[in-house]
A and B are shown apart, each in its own frame.
Chain A
Amino acid sequence: MPETVLVIGGGPAGLEAARAIATIGGKALLVERRAVLGGTPDESNYAALTPRMGSAQEALDVLRAGVVDPNIDVRVETTVTGCSGSVGDFAVTLTGPAGETKEHVGAIVVATGFQHFDPGRETQMYGYYEYPDVITLPDAEKMLSEHRFVRPSTGEPPRNVAFIQCVGSRDRRLGNEYCSKVCCGVASKEAIEIRRLLPDTKVYIFYIDMRMYGYWENEIYWPAQEQYNVTYIRGIVTEIVGKDGRLLMKGEDTTMGRPLEVLMDMIVLSVGMEPSRGTRDVAGILGIEQNKYGFIATPGEPMDPVSTNVPGIYVAGAAAGPKDLEDTVGMAGAAAMRAVGAVRGLARSEAAVTR
């Protein structure tokens, strides 16, 4: 029986899962679609991590160092293109630079992550593809990683900036009914960074609810409001129209009970999470259930957040739905434990039970 666990995806969840598998004496085969490890935080130029502002690349380097191990076989530019068998003996087809190979693995950890919502996917209501000064959280992140924040249209620093929350989240019309969990924190973090870089720039955050759970409350939300004078206004913008080279946004200031029409230099759309292409593809190839949003289903929640509906296949991180990094890395450890248990015949063979 193969002792190896296949880990699909080289982002934070996959890196930590592979490291954890090797740490407890198992063998991991880690495959990554891109040429480099690091996943979405790397691909989307994350600069400072929420909430503590530590460097994303330094944090990823720690995870990357964790998979330098004789018991971890790392294959980049490689994807899973076929799978058969069952727990204890899956036969998987990997397609990489050297062509197709067949591997036998005892269990699988899916760590294929998410992608940022595309604001042009269904609707152009915020003019993301029309106005250069309408950007997204990852666009802002890229600029902040270079320690600058300017209007793309002019190259000048903005006088005022507005974040619009819940773009592509909590929206029945779009089909993404869920909260993406991290955007409130990330927007507040970026707002702090903008205020640090540009002390004369006014920064507004337009929200439905601020969801700053746990310590994000006092580590991000309070400092943003109290020390950096970021202005939070409850109300979601209806539309943005260009006016005199600036952006006129229309909404309601709901707690003040009056309509609102303001000219902004820049608007940042706080885009949420959707299942990545890899998550959708891998779900089909492995034959595991997805939920109605396309994320990998975890029928054993709340007590078992890592088992899929197929015995021997586990999921870690944002492939299973919106996750912050703490949850992602925690899940990776749990998935690694379950997977190694499965290849050693220690795990219950039945699929996750709905509780």
Chain B
Amino acid sequence: MVLQARYADVPIEEKQRLFDQVKADERFESYLYGCYECGICVAACPSARFYDFSPRKIAQAASREDLPMFYEQLNDDIWNCSQCFSCTRCPRGNNPGGLITIMREVSINNGLTSAKNALEGYGRVVYKIMSTGTQVSPDMLQPNAFPDWGPHVQEISDNLALWRRALPPDTMHTTSTAWEVDDKTLTELYLIWHMTGVLDMIKQVDTGLHMILNDVMEELLEEAGFTPE
């Protein structure tokens, strides 16, 4: 439908294949009805205030089955969404944020470079939450991934244990976990990652992380009587 589109070198069949995966998701039907193009979702969207990002265009492209635009969004836009779902105030009952959830999953499942790049900075967060059940720990930050957090992140990260000890309240002097998670909880958590396919998704975007997580989970799962398969 359009004159120009980025990714003109990507064959239309590939764009169609990825779009079909999004459309085949069982949530799709209840996330997209028709679009008035009214912009209420954009008005409510925090990301739209700071990025060139529009949940309206996500809904429109999907509704029109505009494959070139869909593919652009799949690569360049969906990671700008904060998944707050303010956009669900749509008068037609659309859920643009939900469409983005599906698009992100398709993007990861297909190992798109854009997904790898977008998730690169989150390796440690993913590792923490998947191995311990909580991402909130003093060492959760990857100093090289969040320049917008300021120049002191590197300095603090380098001497994390020292800073930690310097805090007046009782911190148990740990840097890798915020609280203790018992083995039963962890075992259940690991089973969830396996059975819902989350581990397979990680494999698509970060094989190293996937290997490390498998190693971490192996012992507890075997103790509980589960084999890697």
Spell out A's residues near B (CB within 8 Å).
221-222, 225-226, 229, 231-234, 253, 255-256, 258-262
Contacts and interface: CB of A to CB of B under 8 A. Distances in A.
B147 to A, nearest CB: 31
B63 interface: yes
A261 B3 contact: yes
B34 A262 contact: no
A226 B3 contact: no
Nearest to B36: A210
B95 to A, nearest CB: 14
**Closest 8 pairs between A and B when the two form their complex, measured CB to CB:** A225-B34, A255-B37, A226-B33, A226-B34, A231-B64, A259-B3, A261-B3, A262-B1
A256 B2 CA distance: 10
Contact of A258 (B3, B33, B37, B56): B3
Contacts of A229: 65
B128 interface: no
B45 to A, nearest CB: 16
Interface in B54-87: 56-57, 60, 63-65, 69
20 contacts: A221-B34, A222-B34, A222-B92, A225-B33, A225-B34, A225-B63, A229-B65, A231-B65, A232-B37, A253-B1, A253-B2, A255-B37, A256-B57, A256-B60, A256-B69, A258-B3, A258-B4, A259-B3, A260-B2, A260-B3
Contacts of A233: 1, 64
Given A231-B63, A256-B57, 6 more contacts: A222-B92, A226-B33, A231-B65, A233-B1, A234-B37, A258-B3
Interface in B1-17: 1-4
B20 to A, nearest CB: 14
Nearest to B57: A256
B32 to A, nearest CB: 9
B60 A255 contact: yes
Nearest to A257: B57
Nearest to A230: B34
Contacts of A260: 1-3
B2 A222 contact: no
B63 A258 contact: no
A166 B94 CA distance: 28
Contacts of A262: 1
B5 to A, nearest CB: 10
Chain A CB within 10 Å, residue with most, of B1, B33, B65:
B1
Given A231-B63, A255-B56, A222 B3 contact: no
Interface in B34-50: 34-35, 37
Contacts of B34: 221-222, 225-226, 232
B2 A258 contact: yes
Interface string B111-125: 000000000000000
A253 B63 CA distance: 15
Contacts of B63: 225, 231
A234 B37 CA distance: 9
Contacts of A222: 33-34, 92
Nearest to A202: B65
Give the residue among B3, B4, B34, B69 with the most A Cβ atoms within 10 A. B34
Contacts of B1: 233, 253, 260, 262
A261 B5 CA distance: 13
A262 B37 CA distance: 21
Contacts of B56: 255
